[in-house]
Structure 1
Amino acid sequence: MLPQPPSRQPSGDNAFQAIWRNPYIRAATFLLLLYLAYLVLGSVSHIVVLAVIAYIIAYLAHPMLVWLEKRKINRAIGVLLTVILIFGLIVLASGLLVTIFNQLSDLIQRLPALTKEFLTQPWFNNLADRFPPLSSVRDQITKISQNGAAGLQQYIQPYIDTVLPYLKANSGALFGGVLSVASIVGEAFAVLIMSIYMMLDYDKLGLNFLRLFPRTWQPFVLDLSKNVGQAVGGYLKGQLIIAAFVGIFIGVALSIAGIPSAPAIGFIAGVFNVVPYLGVVIGITPALLLAASAGGVVKLIVVVVVFVVANQIEGHLLSPMVLGRTTNLHPVTVIIAILTGLTLMGITGALLAVPLAALGKLLLQEYYYPSRVYKDGP
């Protein structure tokens, strides 16, 4: 009988490949890496937030920098002009912020009295007499307004009282008050420096990120990043433009109509309209209360008309024109996404809900519907 040749022991590389071919080993490894990344990000989350803010600034400024480059303006000069423009807008806005914060403070303190005055209007009492359920509704509204005002005064008023003296003392320069807080200055400076470098090397950021992935994955990652930029980035840019329009339109229209605290109401409507429809819903409540105390039924009708017109312009003109196919979501889908985001993560979830829903729809259209799994089944 011939002797058997000695069995060859698998080399280290072959042994590793044999183990790595096991799908459970790969899945466990990826889960472990994700968990480690979660721990690391959790420990440096504040730094990550600052970096994300800096990237958002660079992302929003990139189209303007490209526009300047097409007109033979060096990118470094374009970045300098962008920074000067941002500071200039902040300085110019500081004077308006004084008025807005004053009016917000006054509005919060007057909310219970305005509600009581609104509910004691003769026309409202006549309606309550004809429709008894309105009486219980009136009591509930009074209770809610009092509790809501107390909550606003407890949580918001201290911030207004802190910011307002700085704004008044530095109405020509918003940063006059902020400079007194060293930590805020340090963080603002860090964001500024990071955003400047990101604006200068914006294209290189994407290439360096792409190189982190294996070569075979890079075409897919590049295509996916374009879709993410289209869905999420396009939505953010478009919604900021829409929110600014809604705030300015409502503030100016209510000022012309003679509604008190019109700039503050416009500011509230614009800020909250970063979440679709939320600005109009939140802004109309104080506007109606102020209109009832200022001019009765006529001004109430004017306020309703202003907000309805703003809502219609947003829904039928601005959103299709500015957002286009970036989202193209049905209003019911938007509302469900916002409510889901509010339930899961509060206001942060509401802010993220619509762009994530838009991204999900785009991923379905680009990857799932054309796939063999969708066409032929699993």
Structure 2
Amino acid sequence: MLVEANVLSQPPQNPSGNQNSTSPRSRDNAFQAVWRNPYVRVPIFLLLIYLTYRFFGLVSHVFVLALIAYIVAYLAHPLLNWLVRHRVPRGLGVLVVVLLILSMVGLASTLLVTIVTQFYDLVQKLPGLTANFLTWFDTLARKYTALRSLDVQLQALTENGAQTLQKYLLPYLQKYQSALVGGIFGIASSIAEGFATLILAIYMMLDYDKIGLTLIRMFPRPWQPFVLDLSNNVSRAVGGYLKGQLVIAAFVGVFVGVGLALSGIPSAPAIGFLAGLFNIVPYLGVVIAITPALLLAATTKAVILKLILVVVVFVAANQIEGHLLSPLVLGRTTDLHPVTVVLAILSGLALFGIVGALVAVPITALAKLLLQEYYYPSRVYTDGP
């Protein structure tokens, strides 16, 4: 600091003889001297962090739309690469993807109207279904004394459960049912947001590689190889898990819906949709969807046979998911032990609710991959700290 003070105290060298002007170098030195002061830098950094936080708070909705568009582009990128390898221009491939997305949205909107209507009818019938099921189980418990204690617990558990479910679900189902009958995109703002997201996704699909290169260039050059390697690992773990789990969830939904329909269970498409939707979180869809399936099976003829068929369908879906699809689709990089998966889901649910449960497994898979790629080969792990 003393040397800097002496330099700053000397008059600047000006060949023209004008003592009032300062050279660019002296101005740079003055700025650097001020910037080195922590009492100047810390408040500026805090101010920048606060302004960034406020900025993202104001544009968070736009950021979410951009993130959705990027996810669409990310999921479509392998298909576009496949089309390019088969001599299909990328622009034409993007058009094919857009047509597929619009077809899926149209099909989903039609299917969603039917599913919400069936859910509405199912929730309305829940008290009667529960009463019929408890009556049947009470008759069974009278024949088999070992079931009497379980019968009492079931009576206590379901006494007000159906009424409570009706109280909280029916108003929302009525609102969404009326909105869906009027059109899935009947609100102008939804149309505008959907159109804007689609346009963003089209641009991102066309220039997907350039977007990634631009993001990497934001980092200092010495960091770029590490950032590139890290992004590839994140893509393998999180992206690979997301793609694989969507495929598995779609299979579980179709398998459960078709299986229950062939078994003669009412509202089979609605239950299949429920199983597929919640199966984005591993194993959760089967657990949630089996309860209404058993209640509906208890109202049909040949009750015992239908109950057995429901259990067989859900057990088969669970076994195919756990022992065939998960190892085959997700691969070794995201293959986690079932105990690890359950603990991750419970931890995420306890910390951040349903959002935590959704992101818990991919974050755990990423942590496992980072340990394998960076920590285990490091000298800290092999030689100790």
Do both proteins adopt the same fold according to a TM-score greater than 0.5, normalized to the shorter chain? Answer: yes
Partner of 1:372: 379
**Which letter maps to 1:294?**
T
Cα deviations across residues 10-59 of structure 1 (Å, max 9, x unaligned)?
93366368557xxx998887666544433321221100110011111111
Cα deviations across residues 309-347 of structure 1 (Å, max 9, x unaligned)?
000000000000000123111111111111122122221
**Which letter maps to 2:86?**
R
Query: In 2 relative to 1, CA 14–89 (structure 1 residues): closer, same or farther, beyond 3 Å?
Result: closer
**Which letter maps to 1:335?**
V
1:335 aligns with 2:342: yes
Which of 25, 40, 43 is equivalent to 2:58?
Answer: 43
Partner of 1:115: 130
**CA–CA distance in structure 1, aligned partners of residues 382 and 48 of structure 2:** 34
Partner of 1:131: 148
Q: Structure 1 residue 370: deviation in Å? A: 1.9
Query: In 2 relative to 1, CA 354–87 (structure 1 residues): closer, same or farther, beyond 3 Å?
Result: same
**Which letter maps to 1:302?**
L
**Which letter maps to 1:159?**
Y
Ranges in structure 1 where 5+ consecutive residues have no aligned partner: 1-5, 167-176
**CA–CA distance in structure 1, aligned partners of residues 327 and 46 of structure 2:** 41
**CA–CA distance in structure 2, aligned partners of residues 317 and 26 of structure 1:** 56
SS of 1:326's equivalent in the other structure is coil
1:62 aligns with 2:77: yes
Equivalent pair of 1:251/1:263 in contact (CA under 8 Å) = yes
Which of 81, 86, 89 is equivalent to 1:74?
Answer: 89
Tell which deviates more after alignment, 278-287 or 83-92: 83-92
**Which letter maps to 1:65?**
L
Q: Structure 1 residue 365: deviation in Å? A: 1.4
Partner of 2:169: 152
**CA–CA distance in structure 2, aligned partners of residues 333 and 274 of structure 1:** 16
**CA–CA distance in structure 2, aligned partners of residues 109 and 69 of structure 1:** 51
Query: In 2 relative to 1, CA 179–155 (structure 1 residues): closer, same or farther, beyond 3 Å?
Result: closer
**Which letter maps to 1:286?**
P
Equivalent pair of 1:178/1:185 in contact (CA under 8 Å) = no
Query: In 2 relative to 1, CA 179–306 (structure 1 residues): closer, same or farther, beyond 3 Å?
Result: closer
SS of 1:40's equivalent in the other structure is helix
Aligned pair count reads 359
**Which letter maps to 1:137?**
L
Ranges in structure 2 where 5+ consecutive residues have no aligned partner: 10-28
Equivalent pair of 1:342/1:350 in contact (CA under 8 Å) = yes
Equivalent pair of 1:61/1:82 in contact (CA under 8 Å) = yes
Equivalent pair of 1:368/1:374 in contact (CA under 8 Å) = yes
Q: Structure 1 residue 130: deviation in Å? A: 4.7
Partner of 1:326: 333
**Which letter maps to 1:120?**
T
Equivalent pair of 1:127/1:134 in contact (CA under 8 Å) = no
Query: In 2 relative to 1, CA 31–118 (structure 1 residues): closer, same or farther, beyond 3 Å?
Result: farther
Partner of 2:205: 199
Equivalent pair of 2:241/2:330 in contact (CA under 8 Å) = yes
Which of 183, 186, 193 is equivalent to 1:180?
Answer: 186
1:256 aligns with 2:271: no
Equivalent pair of 2:130/2:162 in contact (CA under 8 Å) = yes
Q: Structure 1 residue 186: deviation in Å? A: 0.8
1:232 aligns with 2:234: no
**CA–CA distance in structure 2, aligned partners of residues 110 and 43 of structure 1:** 44
Cα deviations across residues 163-190 of structure 1 (Å, max 9, x unaligned)?
1x23xxxxxxxxxx24531111110111
1:244 aligns with 2:250: yes
**Which letter maps to 1:316?**
H
Equivalent pair of 2:253/2:276 in contact (CA under 8 Å) = yes
**CA–CA distance in structure 2, aligned partners of residues 128 and 144 of structure 1:** 25
**CA–CA distance in structure 1, aligned partners of residues 252 and 237 of structure 2:** 22
Query: In 2 relative to 1, CA 33–362 (structure 1 residues): closer, same or farther, beyond 3 Å?
Result: farther
**CA–CA distance in structure 1, aligned partners of residues 234 and 368 of structure 2:** 11
**CA–CA distance in structure 1, aligned partners of residues 195 and 297 of structure 2:** 43
**CA–CA distance in structure 2, aligned partners of residues 137 and 237 of structure 1:** 39
Equivalent pair of 1:273/1:280 in contact (CA under 8 Å) = yes
Root-mean-square deviation (Å):
2.3
Tell which deviates more after alignment, 140-149 or 120-129: 120-129
**CA–CA distance in structure 2, aligned partners of residues 130 and 256 of structure 1:** 30
Equivalent pair of 1:119/1:125 in contact (CA under 8 Å) = no
Which of 283, 293, 296 is equivalent to 1:287?
Answer: 293
Partner of 1:170: none
Q: Structure 1 residue 135: deviation in Å? A: 0.6
**CA–CA distance in structure 2, aligned partners of residues 66 and 297 of structure 1:** 51
Percent identity at matched positions?
59
Partner of 1:346: 353
**CA–CA distance in structure 1, aligned partners of residues 321 and 309 of structure 2:** 18
Tell which deviates more after alignment, 328-337 or 130-139: 130-139
**CA–CA distance in structure 2, aligned partners of residues 357 and 28 of structure 1:** 36
Partner of 1:169: none
**TM-score in terms of structure 1 length:** 0.88
Partner of 2:312: 305
Name the larger-Rg structure: 2
